[in-house]
Structure 1
């Protein structure tokens, strides 16, 4: 401010303005500057305050429930009306057969045509009403579960199944089995673990079928409204439907299947005492956009909020169902857009999950922290040329340093012989870190279809 004051005073002296005029103009400029700071809200001035955010009250949700019930009653009445009209049509068809004169039969034919056209319209209207009712009822059920939430925290995994084609980057290398073990070992306060899989994917073979409800396997296709978008192999599309899981707690954590916890953590690592998600940002470097990126055009049109900072990749993503519902109200076409990209390796990938966090951050619904606080470690691995790999060094790093979370790269060799040896080393590495076998696991699990890719001495 002192710099501006000196600059203005020098300018006004040159212009030979009187002292009173100079003070007035300086006051006007100061006032305008304050207005800019208030209304523009630069990110440096956004102060996070831990507050109890509640978007839905019990009375509001009850009103929605009454409205949904009324809609269902109107649907039932419409069905009865259609049924009655169909009976009238069958009666008229009989009358047509028994018509004594040509004039009478022509009259009945005209009436039948009109009635049939009316029924077709009514049936289309009924289908639309049912679709709208299903959407409204699902939304009502989610809001009801949010209001009735008892402060539990769940975990949601997305799993694509076992793919051990040598040319596939996302081959199964035990990650998910031990990622689950890590959650069981270090996050005992988690209530339910949901695993989202495609309908054509076998559930994890090592999990007991009769295991209690701590682990629930959900078919993704039951959550995606458009059948053409299923099955999907884009994990970010899966993230856009996670909040629709029936019975999911309001606060939940999204986890990748190659992400691991290395030491016990409390709820405070993920959420503030008031339930605000903590997001550990990778770095503060601003993002660049490329004109060939489909996201660039959408952001340019101001359809979606532009996220400015680096990605939140390979970290736990704490979220809230009510936050996502509010986001969907602002951007109703977003989920449909993401779900339409069935494969992961299009340009529509991680960038789209960042739009959520940018929206939440601008609303001050999340607490953003530097990733240094997360104590996250990316294991440096060069598997393709390394048969034994560097897991001994990594094991020392993980057991001697203060590392809370880590991610394991999956750039393994494409040569079958080398890959098998790497899997043996990898199995030993994971078993050293997570020795305790949870009670939900089958003893010595094997998968019939992929035995050639598993170590022989398990």
Structure 2
């Protein structure tokens, strides 16, 4: 009898667990809840910005006054030192007075040096606060346009074939040029030691801007940086960047005309296409200050990511240590969560400031990641698949042969595939560049 009761209790407990999991996984999540942004309302308060502006102006004025006082004190000390050194010492009493004055002047000089250091630190802090304030001012003055941000590591021949440059950025830009004519500007973030794309005209008046991403990192020790998570965590610092922008990896391609409402709602909320179960967070990932609950999943679907500068600013103000943690990793680290995903989680899950949509509405196609040695037929099939008007974007994440001769053949097939999709050479490209020189 006792065994039967225990068995029934166990079944009941299991049933309750499954019921809880079902309710939890299917609960209605906020899409634009009580705190949702309406009519493109910013999460940055203009009155707060004006108040901070006045405070910084006052601190800058006080700092200038302090610097003036230090300069006056330094002049006075120099004058007294000159007087003291010019004294004609005739007895022991005068010599003691001389040494006393000299000691006092040395103490004052040390005090002034400390004050100088304090002023330097304050100036550095105010400069940092001023830069953050100017960024907020740019957001407030935003005209509602949309920029695109790419990260590019350049052409590094020492890389494995898997990570070599295979024309992705060139044709990704062509796809944007062809299907997203409404885009305001396109920013390409590169390291200080990276050459700009060889096929891109220099000083050509186009939408494209090359940005040294190392200038965006607060800590110079974090550069050069090849971690896309870290790079995208500083993207909002690009001078002049629109408040609404889209993060694109260079292996993303547009396949049909896309309007801005694919990325943002009429109210300005980013649209996120993903599987519901992927919203949560891996428990083993690192969280300085643990700003998030530790759930099971962390990945958001591998699609273009719409983002807002004001969201990132607010996120950094709330979790200042998280950005530093992400940026300190120069290369991808398996226990590192993507800051963009964490912002999605923060603003979607808690505030409803992001519009969640099923992944199928993204109209996204992932082309095969692994290729047979003979890939010509595969890319012919891919081309036919991409003729569908239902596919708006696709990802071509290659994994070619490690055999160098075969790799060159496969690379030529890939070039022909891209050229069939995007045959027109935009005005910003150098016609017929020597691709072999950079292969």
TM-score of the pair, normalised by structure 1: 0.83
- Pair 1:126-2:124 in alignment: no
Paired position in structure 2 for 1:227: 220
1:323 is the counterpart of 2:323: no
Cα distance 1:112–1:78, how it changes in 2: closer, same or farther (>3 A)?
same
Deviation at 1:92, TM superposition (A): 3.0
Equivalents in 1 of 2:386, 2:150: separation in Å?
23
Q: 2:19 corresponds to which residue?
A: none
Residue deviations 1:7-40 (CA, integer Å, cap 9, x gap): xxxxxxxxxxxxxxxxxxxxxxxxxxxxxxxxx9
1:30 match: none
The aligned residue for residue 74 of structure 1 is: 62
User: Shift of the alpha carbon at 1:192?
Assistant: 0.7
1:243-282 matches, within 5 Å, as 243-282=236-275
Q: Do the aligned partners of residues 405 and 54 (structure 1) sit closer, same or farther apart at CA in structure 2, a change above 3 Å counting? A: same
Q: Does 1:158 align with 2:151?
A: yes
Q: What's the offset of the Cα at 1:383?
A: 3.0
Mapped pair 1:437 → 2:425: yes
Task: Give structure 1 stretches of 5+ with no counterpart.
Answer: 1-39, 454-458
Give the total of aligned pairs.
406
User: Given that residues 338 and 348 in structure 1 are in contact (C-alpha distance below 8 angstroms), is that contact kept between their aligned partners in structure 2?
Assistant: no
Q: CA RMSD in A?
A: 2.4
* 2:36 is equivalent to residue 48 of structure 1: no
C-alpha separation in 1, matches of 2:149 and 2:84: 62
User: What corresponds to 1:142 in structure 2?
Assistant: 135
Preserved contact between residue 279 and residue 299 of structure 2 (Cα < 8 Å):
no
Separation in 2 of the partners of 1:307 and 1:96?
Answer: 72
Quick one: higher RCO (CA 8 Å, sep 6+), 1 or 2? 2
Residue 421 of structure 1 corresponds to 409
Pair 1:451 & 2:432 matched: no
How far 1:441 moved relative to its partner? 0.7
Q: 2:180 maps to what in 1?
A: 187
Q: Is 1:338–2:329 an aligned residue pair?
A: no
Q: Deviations over 1:378-426 (max 9, x none)?
A: 1014336335361111000001352111101121122211111111111
> Offset of 1:354 from its aligned partner?
1.9
Equivalent of 1:347, from 328, 331, 334? 334
Q: Distance in 2 between matches of 1:69 and 1:253?
A: 34
Q: Does the aligned pair in 2 maintain the 1:155–1:192 contact within 8 Å?
A: yes
Structure 2 CA distance, aligned partners of 1:215 and 1:288?
A: 35
Preserved contact between residue 190 and residue 213 of structure 2 (Cα < 8 Å): yes
Specify which of 344, 358, 364 is matched with residue 357 of structure 1. 344
Report if aligned partners of 2:273, 2:301 keep a CA contact under 8 Å in 1.
no
Task: Report if aligned partners of 2:282, 2:296 keep a CA contact under 8 Å in 1.
Answer: no
In 2, distance between residues paired with 1:183 and 1:89?
65
1:7-156 equivalent positions in 2, closer than 5 A = 43-44=27-28, 46-48=30-32, 51-52=38-39, 53-99=41-87, 100=89, 101-156=94-149
Residue of structure 2 in register with 1:373 after alignment: 361
Q: Is the 8 A contact 1:377 1:403 kept in 2?
A: yes
SS, match of residue 147 in structure 2: strand
Match of 1:19 in 2: none
In structure 1, the partner of 2:12 is none
- C-alpha separation between the residues in 1 aligned to 2:281 and 2:141? 42
Q: Distance in 2 between matches of 1:171 and 1:290?
A: 33
Deviation at 1:214, TM superposition (A): 1.4
SS where residue 76 of structure 1 aligns? helix
- Checking the alignment, whether the CA contact within 8 Å between 1:389 and 1:422 is kept in structure 2 is no
CA contact (8 A) 1:384 1:411 kept: no
Aligned-partner Cα distance in 1 for 2:67–2:182: 48
Using a 3 Å threshold, how does the CA distance of structure 1 residues 320 and 196 change in structure 2: closer, same or farther?
same
Would the aligned equivalents of 2:226 and 2:331 in 1 still touch at CA under 8 Å? yes
Q: Is the 1:307–1:354 contact (alpha carbons within 8 Å) kept by the matching residues of 2? A: no
C-alpha distance in structure 2 between counterparts of 1:64 and 1:438, whole Å: 45
Aligned counterparts of 2:405 and 2:63: Cα–Cα separation in 1: 62
Structure 2: gaps (5+ residues): 1-23
Whole-angstrom distance in 1 between the partners of 2:232 and 2:109: 45
Give the TM-score taking structure 2 as reference length: 0.86
**CA–CA distance in 2 between the matches of 1:263 and 1:80?**
62
Paired residues for 1:209-220 under 5 Å: 209-212=202-205, 214-220=207-213
